[in-house]
Amino acid sequence: MKQFQTSDALKRLPEQFFAKLAGKVNRYVEAGYDIINLGQGNPDQPTPAHIIESLQQAAENPTYHKYPPFRGQPFLKQAGADFYKREFGVELDPEKEVAVLFGGKAGLVEVSQCLLNKSDVALVPDPGYPDYWSGVAMAEADMQMMPLLEENDFLPDYSAIPESALAKAKLMFLNYPNNPTAAVATKSFFDETVRFADVNDICVVHDFAYGAIGFDGERPQSFLETEGAKDVGIEIYTLSKTYNMAGWRVGFAVGNPSVVESINLLQDHFYVSLFSAVQEAAAEALLGSQKCVEDLRQTYESRRNVLIQGLHDIGWDVTSPAGSFFAWLKVPESFTSEGFADYLLENVQIVVAPGNGFGEYGEGYVRVGLLTSEEKLREAVERIKSLHLF
Ligand SMILES: Cc1ncc(COP(=O)(O)O)c(C=O)c1O
């Protein structure tokens, strides 16, 4: 069998750190261990019934069995605009300022293809969601990491970015509520971001994947609520987390019309948009009853309370997440992130994601998902207690 060489673009792709972790975990599962897996980011609840029913009915519509319009159904783009108006008071032109995506991940990788040339720089949060790196690598551009430090509430310090990198920077990724640190952004930070991006001609890509999940009465802010945001950037919204629709692959890029147009142009060459029945169900999710969203948010908040209270009770001094469905926990001093993750897996069969997988500044932390029942989270706390580490 011939072994064909991949393109240089594929060779540049970063290693999938978490695929390695999944392999390790599978060996424990196959050996019959009772694993508590807190390492992943896959919502554990089903999609709400009214959205599934909408898909079932729409699947019978014969016009939907044909190719959908290239740039998505107008009714879905209108639903995206109506959603932004209702939720955030943001006005969007559905045809020029909304692009339909195959999930947020696709848009986050595509935007680098759309805006970056070889040797341009993308400003990337560290720790951060690893898919930002993939698009930048494919475009043969360079990354300037922006450390997210606890002492800065996990917000980047723009004044620390070297001048040489700033001169070449074309794109910046941000993500609040943040994966993995669970931090949220403030209005003043977004105001500063708009000024910084404007002065330096940088396109901001705000990944708002956890936009529906804020705790303690604090509602996460859309970047587009910030004055001038549309002039300097876009926001990527996904239905994956808000409506437990991770498997459906529906998202949007919204905001700056020139960036939306370039994403649409790229997608014209890759795809013919989503199955129209999925688009109809997605519109139902955005426009129908939002009670499911509030119920889900409360579920995560209760789980967070159980986990954080439990860890405090056993003497682990951890910070309570402000949003997202993750907790970002500092590991005991004698451990590295990976060492601690291995220790938990080997001794009490708990899976957590080592922080260094999200970048250099993730070292010293592990990420824990709130994606299992309160009962399982209590059991996880009991198992950690039995290690007498704190
Ligand atoms: C920060 C962040 N952005 C984007 C995504 C991608 O979500 P999707 O491609 O399902 O829309 C995820 C998924 O885990 C995420 O954690």
The per-residue pLDDT for range 218-248, each reduced to its tens digit, is 999 999 999 999 999 999 999 999 999 999 9
Check pocket membership of 128 for ligand 1, CB cut-off 6 A. Answer: no
Measured CA to CA, the distance from residue 273 to residue 130 in angstroms comes to 25
Check pocket membership of 127 for ligand 1, CB cut-off 6 A. Answer: no
Going from the Cα of 105 to the center of ligand 1, the distance in angstroms, rounded, reads 6
Name the band, by pLDDT with cuts 50, 70 and 90, for residue 203: very high
Core vs surface per residue 186-224: b (16+ CB within 10 A) or e: eeebbeebbebbeebebbbbbbbbbbbbbbeeeebbbbb
Tokens linked to 59: 């699947």
Check pocket membership of 369 for ligand 1, CB cut-off 6 A. Answer: no
Check pocket membership of 129 for ligand 1, CB cut-off 6 A. Answer: yes
Going from the Cα of 61 to the center of ligand 1, the distance in angstroms, rounded, reads 30
Average pLDDT, the chain: 96
- E strands of 22-83, at which residues? 36-37
Q: What backbone phi and psi angles, to 5 degrees, belong to 169?
A: -75, 130
Question: pTM (2 decimals)?
Answer: 0.97
- Give the range among 12-16, 81-85, 163-167, 318-322 with minimum mean pLDDT: 12-16
Q: What is the pLDDT of residues 108-123, one digit of tens each?
A: 999 999 999 999 999 9
Mean pLDDT of 326-333: 97
What is the chain's length?
390
The pLDDT value recorded for residue 125 is 98
How many helices (H) and strands (E) are present in the chain, helices listed first?
Answer: 15, 12
Name the band, by pLDDT with cuts 50, 70 and 90, for residue 20: confident
Measured CA to CA, the distance from residue 377 to residue 368 in angstroms comes to 10
Name the band, by pLDDT with cuts 50, 70 and 90, for residue 215: very high
Name the band, by pLDDT with cuts 50, 70 and 90, for residue 15: confident
Ligand 1 pocket test target in 131, 242, 367 with most atoms within 8 Å of CB: 131
The pLDDT value recorded for residue 363 is 98
Q: What is the pLDDT of residues 256-301, one digit of tens each?
A: 999 999 999 999 999 999 999 999 999 999 999 999 999 999 999 9
Which residue is closest in CA terms to ligand 1's atom 15? 209
Asked if 358 and 314 count as a contact pair (C-beta separation under 8 A), the reply is: no
Q: Which H/E stretch holds residue 126?
A: strand 121-126
Going from the Cα of 341 to the center of ligand 1, the distance in angstroms, rounded, reads 22
Mean pLDDT of 140-167: 98
Mean pLDDT of 180-204: 98
Determine what percent of the chain falls in helix, strand and coil, rounding each to the nearest 5: 45, 15, 40
Tokens linked to 326: 């993750």
Residue type, 151: E
Going from the Cα of 13 to the center of ligand 1, the distance in angstroms, rounded, reads 18
Which residues have C-beta within 8 Å of that of residue 189, sequence separation ≥ 6?
Answer: 155
Going from the Cα of 388 to the center of ligand 1, the distance in angstroms, rounded, reads 35
Residue type, 191: D
Q: Hey, is 201 helix, strand or coil?
A: coil
Q: What is the pLDDT of residues 339-362, one digit of tens each?
A: 999 999 999 999 999 999 999 999
Check pocket membership of 324 for ligand 1, CB cut-off 6 A. Answer: no
Mean pLDDT of 166-171: 98
Ligand 1 pocket test target in 16, 100, 102, 105 with most atoms within 8 Å of CB: 105
Asked if 187 and 221 count as a contact pair (C-beta separation under 8 A), the reply is: yes
Asked if 256 and 231 count as a contact pair (C-beta separation under 8 A), the reply is: yes
Going from the Cα of 183 to the center of ligand 1, the distance in angstroms, rounded, reads 16
Measured CA to CA, the distance from residue 315 to residue 198 in angstroms comes to 46
Residue 207 CA, closest ligand 1 atom number:
3
pLDDT greater than 90 at residue 308: yes
Q: Hey, is 37 helix, strand or coil?
A: strand
Residue 240 CA, closest ligand 1 atom number:
10
Ligand 1 pocket test target in 179, 205, 237, 239 with most atoms within 8 Å of CB: 179
Q: What is the pLDDT of residues 47-79, one digit of tens each?
A: 999 999 999 999 999 999 999 999 999 999 999
Residue type, 157: D
Check pocket membership of 181 for ligand 1, CB cut-off 6 A. Answer: no
Report the 10 Å Cβ neighbour count for 295. Answer: 11
Asked if 243 and 27 count as a contact pair (C-beta separation under 8 A), the reply is: no
Name the band, by pLDDT with cuts 50, 70 and 90, for residue 18: confident
Which residues have C-beta within 8 Å of that of residue 29, sequence separation ≥ 6?
Answer: 35
Q: Hey, is 217 helix, strand or coil?
A: coil
Among 204, 178, 177, 201, which residue's Cα sits nearest to residue 193? 204
Residue type, 177: P
Ligand 1 pocket test target in 101, 238, 245, 278 with most atoms within 8 Å of CB: 238
Residue type, 340: F
Asked if 198 and 232 count as a contact pair (C-beta separation under 8 A), the reply is: yes
Q: What backbone phi and psi angles, to 5 degrees, belong to 132?
A: -60, -35
Going from the Cα of 131 to the center of ligand 1, the distance in angstroms, rounded, reads 9
Which residues have C-beta within 8 Å of that of residue 374, sequence separation ≥ 6?
Answer: 302, 303, 306
Measured CA to CA, the distance from residue 92 to residue 80 in angstroms comes to 9
Check pocket membership of 377 for ligand 1, CB cut-off 6 A. Answer: no
Check pocket membership of 251 for ligand 1, CB cut-off 6 A. Answer: yes
pLDDT greater than 90 at residue 22: no
Longest dimension (CA), the chain: 62
pLDDT greater than 90 at residue 17: no
